[in-house]
């Protein structure tokens, strides 16, 4: 099956904002959403510096787009001010009120999420789309299973009893919105169709992917807390990405933005491995040597440089707080560009041996901590010096 090639859309690339291009054979973009409402005072002084630093950290970890809920004009003004302070493209998420969308486009806000079908009169839609076209601001249609148009909602039901399939209803709602964009000849458009169910998410995206070349933002919505949310998103996104469907992902979690980005990275990496395994198996069946198998562009859309973290689950032999250490170092490790493997192991009995392939590792050994490279111990230190020694060794790899 040949991979789906979606239309290319560029987001940002003006004023202080970096350009992010998605669709075509461009890398799949990871995004997340700011979890709280911001005020002007949040952007001032050291609080503002903290917010900017956090956004830079998210970018370094692999976040390509950052969305904010913009429920009123004041929120638009605050986000506009913030958009001028960072290079990461910011997205304004707006429901219903076209005036908020118009105001957002006065700032270096890179993308708008609004559904033209919810804006109201044709004249209001015209104003929003004209300004977006003039300002080079793409728009995402966000269709949600929980807020389908009333007529579709009424028809959703068991197909065997004459009801409309929920996935079909999501795709139809998206197509209605796309028709409005087409009418106004507005092309810089993306679509998301989200449901809290894995099957509905997969099927709705498959349906629309087969009918249009619009870039797709994929993810399971209201997916739950960390473990449940990652599991449900992985089930849906691995399936879609392995089929070549999806241009940007958001792993919605009742958890931090950082964990949403990490989950996105891990899911993309796992999808690339799945696709490579499938290619190798197909080649094997066709009698082609694995050395001659060339990964397609679709696999490369999912791969990125970066650290692979190996950490032991921990058991009664452990002499080192692997869980706390890993949690502390996650943002730093996920911000590195080097493609290395870092191991955090619980004990000296099995740690270095189990993680022989790791470029850098750390493990407990009684009241001491060992640092090892490729299975060989290079430093023995007191537990209190572990973070400092690890940082020094990491620095050597970075430079």
Spatial separation of the C-alpha atoms in residues 148 and 171, rounded to whole Å = 10
* 162 lies in the site for ligand SF4, by CB under 6 A: no
Q: Which of 1, 150, 294, 315 binds ligand SF4 (CB under 6 A)?
A: 315
Please state, in angstroms and rounded to a whole number, the distance separating the CA atoms of residues 314 and 345.
8
Q: Which stretch binds ligand SF4 (CB under 6 A): 68-76, 142-150, 211-219, 346-354?
A: 346-354
Query: How large is the greatest C-alpha to C-alpha distance in the chain, in angstroms?
Result: 73
Give whichever of 45 and 313 is closer to ligand SF4, judged by the CB atom: 313
Residue 351 as a binder of ligand SF4 (CB under 6 A): the answer is yes
Chain center to CA of 249: 4
Which one of 332, 350, 373, 381 is in contact with ligand SF4 (CB under 6 A)? 350
Residue 78 near residue 39 (C-beta atoms within 8 A): yes
**What per-residue string of b and e applies to 163-200 under the rule 16 or more CB within 10 Å gives b?**
ebbbbbbbbbbbbbbbebbeebebebbbbbbbbbbbeb
Phi, psi of 12 (to 5 degrees): 80, -150
Residue 342 in contact with ligand SF4, rule: CB under 6 A:
no
Stretch that binds ligand SF4, among 146-154, 288-296, 314-322, 326-334 (CB under 6 A): 314-322
345 lies in the site for ligand SF4, by CB under 6 A: yes
347 contributes a contact to ligand SF4 by CB under 6 A: yes
- Least gap, CB of 310 to ligand SF4 (angstroms): 10
Output the residue with the shortest Cβ distance to ligand SF4.
346
Q: List alpha helices for the chain, DSSP H.
A: 45-61, 73-83, 98-104, 116-119, 122-134, 150-155, 166-183, 198-211, 226-242, 257-285, 297-300, 322-334, 351-354, 386-398
Number of residues this chain uses to bind ligand SF4 (CB under 6 A): 13
The span of 89-97, 239-247, 292-300, 347-355 binding ligand SF4 (CB under 6 A) equals 347-355
Query: Nearest approach, Cβ of 391 to ligand SF4 (angstroms)?
Result: 22
Chain residues in the site for ligand SF4 (CB under 6 A): 312-315, 317-318, 345-347, 349-351, 354
């Amino acid at each position: 099956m040949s991979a789906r090639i979606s239309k290319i859309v560029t987001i940002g690339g003006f004023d202080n904002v970096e350009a992010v291009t998605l669709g075509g054979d461009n890398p799949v973009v990871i995004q997340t959403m700011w979890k709280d409402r911001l005020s002007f005072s949040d952007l001032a002084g050291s609080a503002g510096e903290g917010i900017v630093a956090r956004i830079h950290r998210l970018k370094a970890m692999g976040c390509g787009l950052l969305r904010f809920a913009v429920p009123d004009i004041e929120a638009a003004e605050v986000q506009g001010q913030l958009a001028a302070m960072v290079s990461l493209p910011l997205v304004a998420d707006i429901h219903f009120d076209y005036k908020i969308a118009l105001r957002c486009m006065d700032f270096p806000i890179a993308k708008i999420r609004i559904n033209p079908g919810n804006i109201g009169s044709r004249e209001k839609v015209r104003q929003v789309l004209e300004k977006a076209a003039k300002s080079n601001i793409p728009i995402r249609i966000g269709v949600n299973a929980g807020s389908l148009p009333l007529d579709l909602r009424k028809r959703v039901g068991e197909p065997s009893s004459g009801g409309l399939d929920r996935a079909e209803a999501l795709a139809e709602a998206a197509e209605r919105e796309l028709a409005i964009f087409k009418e106004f000849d507005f092309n810089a458009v993306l679509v998301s169709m989200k449901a809290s169910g894995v099957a509905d998410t997969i099927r709705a995206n498959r349906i629309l992917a087969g009918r249009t070349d619009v870039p797709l933002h994929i993810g399971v919505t209201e997916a739950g807390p960390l473990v449940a949310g990652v599991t449900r998103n992985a089930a849906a996104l691995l399936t879609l990405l392995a089929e070549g469907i999806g241009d940007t992902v958001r792993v919605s979690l009742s958890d931090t933005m950082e964990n949403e980005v990490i989950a996105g990275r891990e899911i993309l990496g796992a999808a690339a491995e799945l696709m490579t395994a499938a290619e190798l198996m197909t080649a094997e069946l066709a009698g082609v040597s694995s050395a001659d198998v060339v990964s397609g562009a679709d696999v490369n859309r999912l791969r990125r440089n970066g650290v692979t973290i190996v950490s032991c689950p921990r058991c009664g032999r452990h002499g080192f707080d692997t869980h706390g250490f890993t949690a502390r170092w996650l943002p730093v490790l996920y911000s590195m560009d080097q493609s290395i493997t870092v191991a955090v192991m619980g004990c000296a009995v099995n740690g270095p041996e189990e993680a022989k392939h790791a470029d850098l590792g750390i493990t407990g050994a009684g009241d001491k901590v060992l640092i090892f490279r490729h299975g060989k111990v290079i430093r023995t230190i007191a537990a209190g010096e572990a973070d400092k020694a690890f940082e020094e060794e990491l620095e050597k790899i970075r430079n």
